[in-house]
Amino acid sequence: MKTIKGPALFLAQFAGDQAPFDSWDGITRWAADCGYRGVQVPSWDARLFDLEKAATSKDYCDEFKGQAAANGIEVTELSTHLQGQLVAVHPAYDAAFDGFADPSVRGNPAARQAWAVDQVTKAISASRNLGIGAHATFSGALAWPYVYPWPQRPAGLVETAFDELARRWRPILDHAEDCGVDICYEIHPGEDLHDGISYEMFLERTGNHARACMLYDPSHYVLQCLDYLDNIDIYRDRIRMFHVKDAEFNPTGRQGVYSGFQSWVNRAGRFRSLGDGQVDFGAVFSKMAANDFDGWAVVEWECCLKHPEDGAREGARFVADHIIRVTDKAFDDFADGGTDQAANRRMLGIS
């Protein structure tokens, strides 16, 4: 068994235009003050990170890591959630997702998709230069508008969507293999990879690519009424990243999983700060330890009620209290009387 590293914090929800959140030095000092040992970095945020330099310059990456280390912080992973989303966009979402892209490619889906592939590829190269072995992203979605089969989906529609999704990602996955970096898809509603079955459909089409891995976040499974503990056991060999985020699902006679287009605070399913929701993190951390997960426990704050800075500070303590320092001995070692093969045979009555 292995001990999970942490606590770490995903910085995407905290980067901003006011100090200390507007600079790499400032935000890493703040994270350390909150009790974090590591941070996951949004690669698209130029206030914190220069992706172009990181993809080509080991010196820049060393300086970037060094400044964080001076503040007591380790760089755990890079994220391309926004760019990964743009690797595959159904036309119904063109306008909604266009703002994720560089202004030079907005309004041009083909150019936007090529830009997104280039961005994710550069982030994987940057991960290699940083000495990081796992990368967080989204898969994007072509089939998501058809998630509920009404009207009846035409035969082959979903298969064609997943064939194309795998075709777009396969060169990126091959580059990740060359760089020694796992691509960890966050399994997330809104993505074609939104549960275990859809992940398996994609994985099969990539030839079970060794670098097509998972980012495990139980909050997204609570809101789908999926068994988030069984999921850990099923995909233990593919889970290479862990977002620690809480959620609650409280259906009523008026709304359930789909939540009737309500705002986050009024939905039956809501993201909450750690300890305020329904995820059994004692069981989650136990399973992760038993399954030899030795990556980082990364807090992702997305609470619909609590202030982010309060959620961050509480989250650091919460994770620190849940990380299990695994044992190197059995609890009953004190009763070990010693034995050998001859004694074993006598105990079994074998002459």
CA dist 222 and 257 (Å) reads 10
pLDDT digits (tens, 9 = 90+) for 269-307: 999 999 999 999 999 999 999 999 999 999 999 999 999
What DSSP state is assigned to residue 89?
A: B
pLDDT at 342: 86
Residues 198-235 have pLDDT tens digits of 999 999 999 999 999 999 999 999 999 999 999 999 99
Angle, CA 109 vertex, CA 106 and CA 114 arms, to 5°: 95
Predicted pLDDT of residue 343: 84
Rounded distance, CA 34 to CA 224, Å?
31
* Buried/exposed 59-83: b ≥16 CB within 10 Å, e otherwise: ebbeebbebbeebebbbbbbbbbbb
pLDDT for 339: 77
- Which residue stretches of the chain have pLDDT < 70? 330-335, 337
CA atoms within 13 A on the CB side of 11: 37
Q: Give me the pLDDT at residue 332, please.
A: 62
- Domains within the chain, CATH numbers bracketed: 5-347 (3.20.20.150)
Question: In Å, how far from its chain's centre is CA 237?
Answer: 15
What pLDDT is stored for residue 229 in this prediction? 98
- Dist. CA 64–CA 39, nearest whole Å: 12
Go through 120-140 and write b for each residue having 16 or more CB atoms within 10 A of its CB, e for each that does not: bbbbbbbbbbbebebbbbbbb
Q: What is the pLDDT, as a whole number, of residue 214?
A: 98
R_g of the chain, CA atoms, integer Å: 22
Q: Got the DSSP string for 296-346? A: EEEE----SSS-HHHHHHHHHHHHHHH-----SS-TTGGG-----HHHHHH
Q: What is the pLDDT of residue 335?
A: 59
